[in-house]
Amino acid sequence: MVDFTGLEPSAEIVRLVRDGVGGVVLFDKNVAEPAQIASLTNALQRIAADAGRPPLLISMDQEGGPVVRLRAGATHFPSAMAFGAAGSEALVASAAGITARELRAVGVQMNFAPVLDVNTNPLNPVIGVRSYGEDPERVGRLGTAAVRALEVSGVAATVKHFPGHGDTSVDSHLGLPVVEHDLRHLDRMELAPYRPVIAAGCAAVMTAHIIFRALDPERPATVSPAVLGFLRERLGFTGVLVTDSMAMDAITGYASRGEAAVQAVLAGADIILACGAHEAQQEALHAVRAAASHGRIPPGRIEDAAARVRALKERFKVGERAIVPVDEIPRRVGVPAHQVVADRAGEAAVTLVRDPERLLALGPGPVEVVDGAAGEATAVRLADALRAAGRDAVTVPAEGLAPDRGAVRVVPVGHPRRDTPETRAAAARVAHAAAAAGPLIAVATGAPYVLTEVPGRATCLAVYGDDPASLRAAARALAGLITPQGVLPVALS
């Protein structure tokens, strides 16, 4: 499975499809709006058909929250942690079913979601709100609801990142994390969510580029026969094993692209996610072919992997539905009824962490939304949402805040994509400056851990993302139109 750059098939992807790759993964660089994606997937499938190749398995990461590819014109659901705060399996299932139907409408048959990482490490820089929380039972329960709904609605779910990326302080995109926990701890925490999901018939599992000392002291899980064998033999998984991107630094620092791909196949991976430069993709493809032809990879290993991928394609009718009707997109993607479910999820997630000065709900007076402590343009969008909720809101810069003139200040804090000590420290500086100038409400638009850096007298609200539904829910809670009902899915110390 490979990626490429562009809104239309590039010369490189045409060559790769004709050369026999089995699938394509789409990223932001391939996406403008739903009708364009449908046209793109149709074009890719026609290239495969014209070359006499089987229908392609087309995938993307449509997790919700900060990690989505279908965005403009589609339904953007809140993050997994928002659903963790809401705690409703029914709500998770409704959102996952809609996500699946919108993906199938644009020609995508495989979703790299849901995330089953148990986010027990507050310093985790890459998972955060992508996780349902720190309780493995809740992660497994909600993850199972998502898997069942995705697959009933025609999309192969791919749970990730096995055995677990939740208790790391290193981003595997940038380095190689190492987990030192013993097997008893892994069994109780990281591995626990996989049992109900596997029992529910999950189609695919994505591996993590992480060393788990208790399972293999030397090799990342992706290239470890011990780790992937544990998934097959001890946990009973019989579906498709797909690697995380082989372009990530955690794996490129371990071995060359060709050697890493060969080792992953030998370890038990069925799909190699060969992302990155065209030359690196060709290196991986040619290395696996050479290893198979020279006997390093046994024929049975290739046949076994191919059989699993064929079975997945048959289960989800990839061949029957390879070409999708572009003219039906407006009736199937981003429709008002779907947005109602996204808004319901956002509102169910809103969590009041503390309100010592009883600032909720805001009265009719002016509201200043302070910029500079969250993601780009988050303050502007929150101010827009407050005005839509009937409050007189303006954005003000963090620098040079004047003393209170009768306005309550609202500060969105935290970054849903980059929850690092640096981003938290920057948010804390803005929050302290705003608190010194008058009454303050801090709204966590990423992982709520950042609220521990906010002055104690400030009101703190968590919405777990800066997606449109979460910001609308924050504004409605601030305006007193809804009462926060969410429960923190992670502990704040």
- What is the C-alpha to C-alpha distance for residues 439 and 382, in angstroms, rounded to an integer? 18
**Which of 232, 224, 308 has its CA nearest to residue 23?**
308
First vs last C-alpha separation in the chain: 42
SS3 457: coil
CA atoms within 13 A on the CB side of 298: 6
Q: Cβ neighbours of residue 233 under 8 Å, at least 6 residues apart?
A: none
Distance (Å, whole) CA 176 – CA 169: 10
How many angstroms separate the Cα of 380 from the Cα of each of 387, 391, 395?
Answer: 11, 14, 6
Q: Would you call 343 a catalytic residue per the annotation? A: no
State whether the Cα torsion 282-285-286-287 is positive or negative: positive
DSSP annotation of 300 reads H
* Pure H helices in 318-377: 329-332, 336-349
Query: Which of 61, 117, 167, 244 is an active site residue?
Result: 244
Active site annotation includes 181: no
The contacts of residue 487 (CB under 8 Å, 6+ apart) are: 85, 87, 351
Distances (CA, A) of 70 to 2, 65, 157, 332, 378: 18, 11, 16, 13, 19
Q: Tokens 């394609």 label which residue?
A: 313
Catalytic residue among 173, 181, 185, 278: 173
φ, ψ of residue 279 to 5 degrees: the values are: -65, -40
Which residues does the annotation mark as catalytic? 173, 244
